[in-house]
Structures are given as C-alpha cells and as structure tokens.
Amino acid sequence: MTFKNTFYTEWDCESLGERHLPENEYRNAFEIDRDRVIHSTAFRRLQGKTQVYVTGQSDQYRTRLTHSIEVAQIGRSIVNYLNRSSEMLTADYEIDSALVEAACLAHDLGNPPIGHKGESRLNELMDPWGGFEGNAQSLRILTDIVRGDRRSYTNSGMQATRACLDGILKYKIVGKENTTGSAKFLYPDQQEILSWVHGDPHLDELAQGGNQIRSIECAIMDLSDDIAYTTSDLFDGVKQSLLTPEQVQDFWNNQYPDVSQKIKDEVDKVLTHQIPMSRFIAALIGRWIYSISIEALPDPFMAIPRYKYHLKMDQDSHSELMALRALNYNLIYNSDYVKIPESKGVEILEELFLYYRDVLFKKRTALEPLPLPTGISNDFDENQKMRMICDFVAGMTDNHAIRLHSYLKA
C-alpha cells in the first residue's frame, strides 16, 4: 500500500525482517504492526497479569490487558487532538494513530506476573545473566518471540517497523551495569536492534551516555501510560474503599501541600459521593488531553519528523497528574490490600524461577508436570538458556504461575 502521509519516510516503515504481504494489502505498515500485536499470544496473556491488584482479588479491577487498551485509547485520542489542533500538522503530514496504538498496546508485553514487584525480583534473580527489565522484554517479544517458533534463539519476531520499535523504546541504555539503580535498560544482545532502529552510531553513544532519545510517538505512548494508570489505579482504589476523605485530606496537608484546590475539591466530591468516579475520570482525561500540544525542537536528534517535535502538557494539568500519582503511590500502592498478596505472588514467582534454574543446571530432578521449556538447545550458551527460562517464567499469567507452583508444594 502506498503511504501518503509525508510525516513518515520509507526508512520509518522498513521492517526488521521481511514481510510477505499480498499485492492488494489494504493496510499501511503501522496498521500491520498494530494488528500483529493484538493477535499475539503475549498480548492475550496480559488479561491474566496484575496491573496493581493481583488478579483474582476481584473481577472488577484492571489487568495489564485492560490497562493497555486504555493506554491505546488515550494515545489515539491525543494523536487525533494534535492532528486537528496543531498548526504544524496537516492532512498529509500528521502523526499516525495506528503507530501510536501499536506502541501503546505493546508497551507492557514484557511485564511478568505480579506487576512491578515481580519485575524487580526477576531482575535480581537474573542478575548473573544480564538482568530483567520490562521494556527490554517487550522489545525481545516483538523481535524474537511473537510469530516465532522458538526453535532458534533469535529470529525477526513479528517483523515490526523501525518506527514501531522506536515507539516502545523509552529506555535505551544497553546493559544493566550501566544504569543507575540497575533498572531501565536493554539487554546486551539488543544493541544490534537499537543500532538498526537509530541508524546512527552517534545516537547509540548519546543514549548510552544517558540522553533521553525518544520519538514523538514514544513520548505520546509514555504520557498516555501515565494518564491511564494514574486515573485507573485511583478508580480501582476508590472502588475498593482504600481511601477515605480524612486520609486524603491528611495526605494533601502533610505531604503534598502544593496541590491545587481544584483537584482537592474534585477528589473530595468523589469520596463523599457527590459526583460519580467515572464522570470525574472521564472529565479529567479530557481536560488533560486538551492541555497537550507539540512544539518544534531547535536541534533534534534526527532530521526526520518523528524527532522534530516535543510533547508538552500545560503546567496546571501536569501538576494535577503528579499530585494524583503521588496520592496513589502513598495511599494505594503501599496499602496492605495491595502489598500482602503482591508479596505472596513474588514468592511464587521466585520459587518457580529457582526451580527451573536448578533443573537446567542439574541441581535437581525435573517434576513430571514441570518440564523445562521447549526450545532450549544444547547449542545455546548459559546466558541464552537462562534468558529462555526467564522468557518462560515472565510470560506466565498470575494464575498459571500459581497453578504450576502448586506442584512444587505437592
């Protein structure tokens, strides 16, 4: 299909691995990216992975799947608003909504069971073999696992476009040892992919030095993620009655005194049942989207449209976002309702990982219901074998991990 949007070049649309498409293909390159993410096993598994509240605590909470769908909806809305409101964009020179949707839908593919605590523990357990990081794992899934048969260690995955892979790459430092706090990194064997995405060794060097090098689509995805989890985690916390008006007022007074009176009043009205939570969240997301704009950068990292613009949110809206995010961290994420089942889930994840590691290194005999993952070849080195063990454990849903763990305790 001929791409008529001049915001993107053939270079942006080039795929990692050859795509075999029919002559009458009706989708553009980024619509194919989006569709392949949606139809992937990794995407479906997000329905059984924790967002904040461990799956099974209630049937009303967000999972990683519903969160990703909400991020995609917000991302698409931001793109539509920018395309229609910015004087810098036109009908034949605009941000592609399918590309942003693809990045939003794929951004959490690499997250393991039991949320961010599970991610942190896997990172510690994988320390001798390069660590574990959710963003790096998402890249690995797109480039090595989706649409792959896993009979080889590396393949081109879903043949994603350069712009799509760049859209999920929030973090571009290669190697756990090169980061602050041993977090937010790419795996060593992903350097080649990053170099292909950048197409310029100098950009690799800048990224390794800590410069934040992100395309406009990546910036939209990241902000959409912030908006989605801040509002939905608050929604679910209120639904579970984890917040009282007194707790929240005390938090504003003692820990976040600079919060605006407007957001204080709105949250109080929700907690005292003067306005429905759903109406508050819908209005808030709309207000925030209308506050977003783009501005041209004087010295972009790349001389292509994807890198020519900076995403902005007005100060009032950004302050509201930061205030609600702080409220969530202090009163919801640190509540016993979240932390106790999360802690138990992390123990299950750790024991499964250690079991498969010990079977691989022949320190224990495999249990019949828990064989090693298929596809591990004797030709692989230790790092490659352990990375596939990590793939297997990280790919589990919460309930699948709990079920397999039960065999260890039988």
d(C-alpha 67, C-alpha 71), whole Å: 6
* Residues 274-329: tens digit of each pLDDT: 999 999 999 999 999 999 999 999 999 999 999 999 999 999 999 999 999 999 99
Q: Which of 35, 43, 36, 39 is nearest to 395 (CA)?
A: 43
370 CB burial (10 A radius; 0-12, 13-18, 19+): middle
Q: What domains, with CATH codes, occur in the chain?
A: 1-410 (1.10.3210.10)
Q: What is the mean pLDDT of residues 390-406?
A: 93
Q: Is 296 helix (H, G, I), strand (E, B) or coil?
A: strand
Strand partners, 406: none
d(C-alpha 368, C-alpha 255), whole Å: 53
387 vs 147, residue with greater confidence: 387
**What is the end-to-end Cα distance of the chain in Å, rounded?**
56
Residue 150: pLDDT over 50: no
User: Do 145 and 391 meet the contact criterion of CB atoms below 8 Å apart?
Assistant: yes
d(C-alpha 148, C-alpha 157), whole Å: 5
d(C-alpha 227, C-alpha 91), whole Å: 27
In 209-314, alpha helices (H):
216-239, 245-255, 261-271, 277-290
Q: What is the mean pLDDT of residues 244-261?
A: 94
* Residues 80-123: tens digit of each pLDDT: 999 999 999 999 999 999 999 999 999 999 999 888 888 999 99
pLDDT at 151: 44
Using the Cα atoms of residue 171, residue 177, residue 180 and residue 182 in order, give the sign of their dihedral.
Answer: positive
Tokens 């992100």 map to which residue?
Answer: 214
At 207, the pLDDT band (50, 70, 90 cuts) reads: very high
User: What are 308's two structure tokens?
Assistant: 């020519």
Residue 154: pLDDT over 70: no
d(C-alpha 155, C-alpha 141), whole Å: 10
Half-sphere exposure of 132 (CA within 13 A, CB side): 28
Tokens 């571009």 map to which residue?
Answer: 172
